[in-house]
């Protein structure tokens, strides 16, 4: 399975950037990213990174939603004692709780 990970740009040198992500243990990891797909971005910008390249620029809200979904995936895969209450699956998917799912426009009856 391949998953894009939100990363925050720390520094830029032309079309190469150093971006930061937080590991599962809470440590900050630094990665070199190719910025050709999204263009040069200023430090502080969130991007979705995959295979050493920035694939899409994210706003901070979307970056946090993806990070929360990755935490939830880790909890589901671990299936140990369960998450602490502040990291419940409902809390991690707060944007989806109490919302009726909507079909994409192209699948809705005409």
Tens digit of pLDDT for each residue in 64-87?
A: 999 888 888 877 776 655 555 556
Residue 61 CA to residue 44 CA, distance in Å, equals 14
Is the domain 5-92 a CATH 2.60.40.10 member? no
Pick the closest to residue 14 from 28, 27, 32 (CA basis). 32
Length of the chain (residues): 110
| Chain center to CA of 8 | 10
Domains of the chain: which residue ranges? 5-92
Total H helices, total E strands in the chain: 2, 5
Phi-psi domain of 39 (left: phi exceeds 0; alpha: psi -120 through 50; beta: other) = left
Residue 14 CA to residue 41 CA, distance in Å, equals 9
Residue 97 clears pLDDT 60, i.e. is over it: yes
- Quote the Cα angle for 29-64-58, to 5°: 85
User: Whole-prediction pTM value?
Assistant: 0.72
Residue 48 clears pLDDT 90, i.e. is over it: yes
């Amino acid at each position: 399975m391949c998953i894009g990970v939100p990363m925050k740009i720390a520094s830029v040198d032309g079309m190469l950037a150093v971006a930061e992500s937080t590991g599962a243990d809470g440590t900050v990891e630094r990665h070199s990213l190719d910025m050709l797909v999204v263009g040069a971005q200023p430090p502080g910008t969130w991007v979705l990174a995959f295979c050493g390249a920035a694939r899409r620029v994210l706003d901070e809200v979307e970056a946090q939603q993806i990070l929360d979904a990755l935490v939830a995936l880790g909890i589901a895969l671990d299936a140990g004692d369960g998450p602490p209450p502040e990291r419940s699956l409902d809390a991690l998917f707060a944007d989806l709780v109490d919302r009726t799912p909507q079909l994409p426009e192209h699948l809705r009856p005409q």
